[in-house]
Amino acid sequence: MSTTMQPGTPGWLRARNDRVALTLLLEHGPLTRNRLGELSGLSKPTAAQMVARLENAGLIQVVGEASGGRGPNAAMYGVRGDRLRAVAVDISDTGITSTVVNATGPVNPTVVQPLPLAGRSPASDVGGAVNAAVAAAGVDPASVGIVCVGVQAAISELDDRLSFVDTLPGWPEAGVRNSLKAALGYDVVLDNDVNLAAMAERAVGATADVSSFALLWMGAGLGLSVDLGGTLHRGAAGGAGEIGYLPVPREAEFLAPDAVDLTDLIGGPAVSGLAQRFGGTGSGLDEQLASVTDVTGFHQALAPRIALGVIPVLAVLDPERVVLGGPTGAAGGDALARAVQSHISTHSRFRPSVVATGVPLHPVLAGARQLLVDEIRSRLLADVPTLAS
């Protein structure tokens, strides 16, 4: 049956009203029919008809009651969470993290799994993560239709190719998205992990109030994501932001004489060694950052290194704000951000604001969740015109 309707016809008006009602339920959560009428500006009989059509289509259901004082309680309607769900997956160099995503409702449990020791493939990595997330949330696997996977790689959307796949053993460089869809049966969104973290910063983090920003991700490796007016700059083949491969500037000789590229300057091993000099102990970067005893000295030693990595970005793109993310940025917090900003202001002509990440916990999953919520809502709304045809 065709879903195309002419503007102004009764079918078109019904579909438009139904989309308005579903949008309001997605944005506000459960509402009564009367409240839907008030928010939409439509009459009570029209609101009742909208609710009936959406309920009959399986898009909404009664989720509770609202006390109105005198008379019977009014039914509260909400979007059905089991109509379409998604799973967000973050595959890092240390583990695989996943969670189920709904269009509305509470955040589901986050599952962290260790990396398999051998026999890895895209299907086994992602499939295992989806199964774990679905089991933790206690939902029907059949309700999952979309998976968003964040990986430490550059992704070319034009030809479904990956590059810089050092942390993804068993993953081919070509055709990963299509092979995942064929193997698992889900629609797959594949994105760079730092780009997803930047989406989280824009949506719920430290950059909602700026026109442009650069997120410098510092962990075992380095990554950079640049948001210009709400749009991520990905590059011709998805390689924008692979800042770890940049040669170090001449000034770095006084900080790390043996450094060849920025990874040698502010990547995981370099930061780990610096943290140990200031009292950090433990077997991994996170433990060492958390146990530094001379925090001020550590920040003063690390800040000029970070500044050397940031200044070229400022010279080329001049973002309004720089966000320090990843394990190093999150551990350093506001104090490290202030030290970096002071060093940049003292040793260059640039004056950006430098801040710590506003999403220190699972930022890649947070970005994937934001992307998936938008996608689920778009798909639900896309179903509405067929209801009135």
Distance of CA 246 to the CA centre of its chain: 25
Q: Convert 282-314 to b/e letters by CB count within 10 Å (16 or more is b).
A: eeebeebbeebeebeebbebbbbbbbbbbbebb
Q: What is the Cβ-side half-sphere exposure of residue 10, based on CA atoms within 13 angstroms?
A: 1
Q: Three-state SS string across 84-111, please? A: CEEEEEEECCCEEEEEEECCCCCCCCCE
Same fold, 10-80 and 85-196+365-378: no
User: What pLDDT score does 2 carry?
Assistant: 42
How is the chain split into domains, by residue range? 10-80, 85-196+365-378, 206-358
- What pLDDT score was predicted for residue 151? 95
Nearest-angstrom CA–CA distance, 31 and 115: 43
Is residue 261 classed as helix, strand or coil in its secondary structure? strand
- Per-residue pLDDT at 127: 97
Amino acid identity at 291: S
CB neighbour list of residue 127: distance below 8 Å, 6 or more residues apart: 183, 184
Judge contact between 227 and 241, C-beta under 8 A.
Answer: no
Cα separation, 99 vs 90, in Å, equals 9
pLDDT tens sequence for the chain (389 residues): 345 555 657 778 888 899 999 999 999 999 999 999 999 998 989 999 999 999 998 899 998 888 766 667 889 999 998 889 999 999 998 899 999 999 886 789 999 999 998 999 999 999 999 999 999 999 999 999 999 999 999 998 788 899 888 889 999 999 999 999 999 999 999 999 999 999 999 999 999 899 999 999 999 989 999 999 999 999 888 888 889 989 988 888 889 999 999 999 999 999 999 999 999 999 899 999 999 999 999 999 999 999 999 999 999 999 999 999 999 999 999 999 999 999 999 999 999 999 999 999 999 999 999 999 999 999 999 888 665 44
The pLDDT, as a whole number, for residue 353 is 95
Res 7: pLDDT: 61
**Phi and psi for 352 in degrees, rounded to 5?**
-80, 160
Residue of 119, 174, 170, 180 whose CA lies nearest to 149: 180
**Cβ contact 44:50 at 8 Å:** no
Q: State the pLDDT at residue 97.
A: 98
- What CATH number belongs to 10-80? 1.10.10.10
The domain 206-358 having CATH identifier 3.30.420.40: the answer here is yes
CATH superfamily entry for domain 85-196+365-378: ATPase, nucleotide binding domain (3.30.420.40)
Alpha helices in the chain (DSSP H): 10-28, 33-40, 44-56, 122-137, 176-184, 193-204, 262-266, 268-277, 285-290, 295-317, 326-347, 363-383
